[in-house]
Amino acid sequence: MEKEENLNQENTSAENSNKETENDKQLDEKQEDNKSAEKKIELSPEEKIKELEDKLARTFAEMENQRRRFEKEKDDAFDYGGFAFAKEALNLIDNLERSKLILESDEALKDTEALKKTLEHFDIINKDLISIFTKNNIKPIDCLNKKLDPNLHQAMMEIEDDQKEPGTIVQEVQKGFMIKDRLLRPSLVGVSKKTEIKDDKSEENKENLDK
């Protein structure tokens, strides 16, 4: 009996301590809420106006940043929205150039009037295409006799040429194009290099040593 009474007393005291702890937490939360409320009440009208002005200024700044982002995205879409189409359309110019080369190398057509007229028509079509591209801010890259620029040109071969500085573009394999200030396609080019001079005497000496 005494043990049961002791257990009951311990359980009762534990429950009372838990209740006191919960009551203390609630009191602390109420005190914090009161303090925050007091802080708000303590703000003077001038301070409230200042706080509202700061919030308003931040809101306007965020709106302006969003407006600028939207404007840039709109301009990029307008200026470069046809980038992929323009790149594909360049195949027309490439195919015209290939067709000209095939016809010019055909022995049966060489020096014929039909070939001459056909090539003239090809040239007209090519000029019309370039004109249409130019009107839409797509322009060919002028590369011949210029120094190789990795941002605009892609070197495909080296050609011995002592008349030009090494790294000068002396042959255009495929024409490159820009769309406004962006590279649409690099120019495929051949660049000059110095002629390699072989020393005949050194070659003879090597052969003699080998023998």
Q: Which residue shows structure tokens 């040593």?
A: 209
Within 13 Å of residue 92, how many CA atoms lie on the same side as its CB?
Answer: 15
From the candidate CATH numbers 3.30.2130.10, 2.30.22.10, 3.30.230.10, 3.40.50.720, the one assigned to the domain spanning 140-211: 2.30.22.10
CA torsion 62-65-66-68 (nearest 10°) is 160
* pTM, full prediction: 0.55
Could you give the 3-state DSSP secondary structure of residue 135?
A: helix
Q: Which residue shows structure tokens 């080296």?
A: 158
182: its two tokens: 């962006």
Task: Report percent pLDDT > 70 for the chain.
Answer: 67
186: its two tokens: 């690099």
pLDDT tens digits, one per residue of 82-124: 777 888 888 888 888 888 888 888 888 888 888 889 899 989 9
Listed in order, strand segments (DSSP E) in the chain are: 138-140, 153-160, 169-174, 177-179, 182-185, 187-193
Rounded distance, CA 178 to CA 90, Å?
11
pLDDT tens digits, one per residue of 70-82: 777 666 655 666 7
